[in-house]
Amino acid sequence: MNMLRVKGRVRGWFSRPANVILLIFFVTLVFLTLYPLLSLLTETVTIHTGREARAAKEAAGTVSLYHFQRLFATAENDYSWIQFYQPFLNTLTVSLSSSLIAIAFGGVVAFLVTRTNLRYKKFISAVFTFPYIMPAWTLALFWETFFKNVNIGLKTSNGIMASVFHFFMPEWFVYGAFPIALVLGLHYAPFAYILIGGILRNMDANLEEAATILKTKRARIIWRITLPIVKPAMLSTFLLVFASSMSAYSVPVFLGSPVRYYVLSTKMKSLMDSYPGQAYIIVGVMILFGVAILLLNQRVTNSRKQFTTVTGKSGQISRINLGKANRPVALLLVIILLMVAVVPLVTFAMESVIVKAGDYSPANMTLDFWIGTNLDQRLDQGDSTGILLNPKVWNALGFSLGLAVTCALVAGTSGILVGYGVAKRRGSRLADMVNSLSFFPYLMPSLAFGAIYLSMSSSFPWLRGFLLLALVGSVKYLPFASRSGVNAMLQLSGEIEEAAVITGVPWWKRMLRVIFPIQKSTFLSGYLLPLVSCMRELSLFVLLVPTSNTILTTMLMQYSEKGWAQFGNAINLLIIVVVLLINFIVNKLTGASIDKGVGG
């Protein structure tokens, strides 16, 4: 009797698709995220072969707390200071300032676009997400090529600012904390714009009007009413930008390393080759940081002050009249956006056609790096053909595209399923855990994530090449997809599915014919974001690719390391154009957009 009841209960539990989905994802995600974490922990207490074993004076494979002691508490030659504390402080500085820049810039623009009668709104909101769609290093590379000069950094050559305008920027402006924070801030400002803009757009205008009626001054309304209400969105932005900036690798490499300004991510990369144990500890510190911010974020947003869901007549938003300030503010924004989003592209195009660096006269220009042949006889520049005639480039492009599409399909579909399961079983412990687990990869620095999977793959011989890259990419981008999936599902009333259940429509058909079509554009955004991110991903794959010619981004890295600047710039431009094109086509065809993926 009792046995029967238990059996019935179990069968009942499993008859709900949401439960089965959650269980499957729970098990898979535990393996794909917690297992790497565990292996990370073991690495931090294991002595590795080579220099590490020699330095520790212990046999390889020994379990020891040597790495901790060495990294955290070695006063000799300021070792700990140089290897850990200084980069740690730098990371804090850079991540904090970039978060503040992103929130301030993105938030102000979001406010201007949603709440005022600003001019050129359409252009501004269209171009504002560009910096995020483009690879982060784009801006960094642009900053460097634009402002560098022979007096600072590697002292190699003059950029456009120095050679054309004869303006020699000081070092702090071109390299170090300032440009890194600024570039990252600008790159992630779209997050703030999308998240804060979403709240501002949906915020009940009556809340502000109620204050106006009670004789509140404009500034006080913004300070006491508007800001507190967008606070949760600002905190979410802070979490995303801080975590992303902390794990950003390419930007500090381009703008920090030339002047020996290291952050945790670049330090980790340089330690990885010789002292992997210490590198893994740094990874752990970074993850701890991410988790701490995540917990803080949850605490603050789950407080008593949450929003009442009664909606009013919000269609009647009264927009602030900017008056005389309108045109100057709009023009300033347009100029900034052009600088951030369009000028870099022009610069890369320029840099990819000049023969001798620093000389921007027409006589010095050639299309050889794009479509030339027999280049090795004429130029001292590696490959013999321009990149558009180079089969290696086309192979890499094909591989990159294939990889991006695969990751997008896997991550996007998983995201929808996770969203379905979490929304249907909202509040249950399993749903909460799957929800957190699916966000966890976001907090793992890409480079470290790649490193861990590399070490994991040694235990699974079949996990190599494309399969390994696709798996890493899918897991890493799952957070985007699951966020938009959960958001899409939460917006959907349960009755819509129940109406189909009553008439006996099977589960897969309900998903395909009822749920997916209704939230199509949000779901598709869950595919688009991984696709775009994967296309321009470097740090996640850099350790995992079989050869550096495998994907476009590592190829770019290799070319710029070898100093083949023109090829590098050409490939960079190729990547950006492909990514923008994909984004544009998908957006036009399906209505999916990056902002829906992030904001939901």
Partner 1 sequence: MPEIRLKNVTKRFGKFVAVDNLNLDIESNAFITLLGPSGCGKTTTLRMIAGLETPTEGSISIGDQVVFDAEKGINLPPNKRDVGFLFQNYALWPHMTVYQNIAFGLENLKWDKKRIRQRADELLHMLHIEAFENRYPSELSGGQQQRVAIARTLAPGPKVLFMDEPLSNLDAKLRMEMRTELKRLHKDTDSTFVYVTHDQLEAMTLSTKICIMNGGVLQQYAPPLTMYNAPANLFVADFMGNPTMNFIDCKVKAEGDRAELSFGDVGCVFHAKGEIRLKGDTCVLGVRPEFVRIGGEGHPATVYSTLPAGMETTVKLNVGDNLLTAVVFGDVDYPADSQVHFSFTDRAILFDREDGGKSAAEGTVKLL
Residues lying near partner 1 in the complex (CB under 8 A) are found at: 204, 206-207, 209-217, 220, 224-225, 228-229, 231, 304-308, 310-313, 316, 318
Question: Least separation, in Å, of the C-beta of 55 and partner 1?
Answer: 54
Buried b / exposed e along 78-92 (16+ C-beta atoms within 10 A):
eebeebbebbbebbe
For residues 311 and 458, which CB has a smaller minimum distance to partner 1 in the complex?
Answer: 311
What torsion, rounded to 10 degrees, do the Cα atoms 159, 161, 167, 169 define?
-70
Distance CA 33, CA 441 (A): 7
| Minimum CB distance to partner 1, residue 110 (Å) | 19
Nearer to partner 1, 217 or 327 (CB): 217
In the complex, the smallest distance separating the C-beta of residue 201 from partner 1, rounded to whole angstroms, is 17
Of residues 229 and 430, the one with the C-beta less far from partner 1? 229
Give the chain's largest Cα–Cα span. 92
Residue 217 three-state SS: coil
Q: Which residues of 245-265 are buried (b: 16+ CB within 10 A; e: fewer)?
A: bbbbbbbbbbbbbbeebbbbb
Cα–Cα distances in angstroms (integers) from residue 421 to residues 92, 186, 242, 566, 596, in the given order: 36, 35, 29, 49, 20
In angstroms, the CA 452 to CA 33 distance is 10
Select 161 or 229, whichever has its Cβ closest to partner 1.
229
In the bound complex, what is the minimum distance in angstroms from residue 348's beta carbon to partner 1? 44
Question: In this complex, which beta carbon is closest to partner 1, that of residue 224 or of residue 513?
Answer: 224
Q: Which amino acid is at 199?
A: I
* Tokens 């570039």 found at: 183
Nearer to partner 1, 16 or 121 (CB): 121
Smallest distance from partner 1 to CB 205, Å: 9
Q: How far apart are alpha carbons 523 and 545 in whole angstroms? A: 30
- CB of 100: closest distance to partner 1 in angstroms? 21
Mark out the alpha helices in 387-535 (DSSP H runs): 391-424, 429-443, 446-457, 465-491, 494-502, 507-509, 516-518, 520-535
Phi, psi of 63 (to 5 degrees): -90, 125
Q: Which C-beta is closer to partner 1: that of 5 or that of 313?
A: 313
Q: Which two tokens stand for residue 549?
A: 């010619």
Residue 513 carries which DSSP code?
A: I
Closest CB to partner 1 among 122 and 166?
122
Q: Residue 115 corresponds to which tokens in the numbers above?
A: 């709440």
In this complex, which beta carbon is closest to partner 1, that of residue 207 or of residue 355? 207
The CB-of-540 to partner 1 minimum distance in angstroms stands at 39
In the complex, the smallest distance separating the C-beta of residue 203 from partner 1, rounded to whole angstroms, is 10
In angstroms, rounded to a whole number, what is the distance separating the alpha carbons of residues 521 and 502?
Answer: 26
The CA-atom distances, in angstroms, between 302 and each of 103, 224, 241 are 21, 20, 20
CB neighbour class for 130 (10 Å; exposed up to 12, middle 13-18, buried from 19): buried
Q: Using the minimum distance from each CB to partner 1, give the nearer residue, 71 or 203.
A: 203
Minimum distance of partner 1 from residue 209's CB (angstroms): 5
Q: Is 410 helix (H, G, I), strand (E, B) or coil?
A: helix
Give least dist CB 307 to partner 1, A.
5
Q: Which is nearer to partner 1, 305 or 464 (CB)?
A: 305
DSSP states of 341-383 as a string?
IIHHHHHHHHHTTBSSTT--SGGGB-SHHHH-SSHHHHSS-SS
In the complex, what is the shortest distance from the CB of residue 109 to partner 1, in angstroms, rounded to a whole number?
A: 23
Q: What is the rounded distance in angstroms from the CA atom of residue 475 to the CA atom of residue 508?
A: 23
205 vs 365 by CB, closer to partner 1? 205
Quote the least distance from Cβ 213 to partner 1, whole Å. Answer: 4
